[in-house]
Amino acid sequence: MSKNSKVLNLKDKISGNEVDLSLCNLTEVPVRELALFPKVTVVDLSCNNITSLPPEFCNLTHLVKVDLSKNQLTSLPDDLGNLVNLQHLDLYNNKLTNLPVSFSQLRSLKWLDLKDNPLELGLAKAAGDCLDEKQCKQCATKVLQHMRAIQEEVDHAREKRLLREKELERKREAKQREREAREREARKREKAEEKEKRRKEYNAQKAALAAQEQQKKKSEEKKKKNGQAAGDKKVAVESKPKPRRSVIGLIFKLLLLLLVGLAGVAAVCRLTDLQKEAFCLPINAAVDDGLSWAKEQQIVLDLRDVQ
């Protein structure tokens, strides 16, 4: 069957704002076709073989009343809460065990029938018997309360999970920061150690150069000292007789001056008018004696030469 024929058949089943698709042996909901008729707010899909609702069904937000009783539904779509205008929902005689958490968002829901479903205990207790209009209204109210409680638990669990994830993320970030801090500290320590190593090497080189310089200086001083000692020794050796020669020279000079002085005095006393003075008499006598002695010595020498 073509899409146009389906639309045509759907038009044939529309009456006012209602469409009756019950007893059509449907296995799925014609969502696309229903979306073409936004004025249709009441849909009867009872007594078919529908096992699930497609996610697109939750986009039919214009729906007010939906009858899905006597089908084979085992679950409802997670976004069923998007049907914000839904007031009446008949799920009688299906295979549902629970409802989606978003069911709590059906704030317009006033009537609900969940009997003859294998509901989980808490949901079944909230749903009640749904034997009449009053009980079905109470079912809607109590199930919404039940689902809101579940929603709160889910929200709380999600919040706890988010907080736990945030805490884990915070711890991861803290560990990351600690690791980065340790790495920075390690790099800083390595740089400091490298710098200290270079400083020690520099100091060692400087100390070695200083030791070499000191050794060189000591060697030069030693050589200089040895040279100076040798020079001093040589000077001492050379200068030892000098004082003796100086004394002898001085005596010689004094004697020479004395002889010159005596000769001068003798000459003055012998050749000048002072020869008759009293102080010159002994000098002239001494000169005469000296000359006589010299002549005698000359005669002796001459005799020796003749012999």
Q: Which of 92, 191, 100, 186 is nearest to 139 (CA)?
A: 92
pLDDT in tens, 120-150: 999 999 999 999 999 999 999 999 999 999 9
Alpha-carbon dihedral sign for residues 63, 155, 94, 29: positive
> pTM of this prediction?
0.56
- Please report the pLDDT score of residue 217 as a whole number: 82
Please identify every stretch of the chain with a pLDDT value under 70, giving residue numbers as ranges. Answer: 1-8, 228-246, 265-266, 268, 270-279, 284, 300, 304-307
Q: Which of 111, 120, 77, 64 is nearest to 92 (CA)?
A: 111
Q: Which of 19, 90, 25, 78 is nearest to 53 (CA)?
A: 78
pLDDT in tens, 203-251: 888 888 888 888 888 888 877 777 766 666 665 555 555 545 567 777 7
Q: Any idea which residue has 């698709």 for tokens?
A: 21
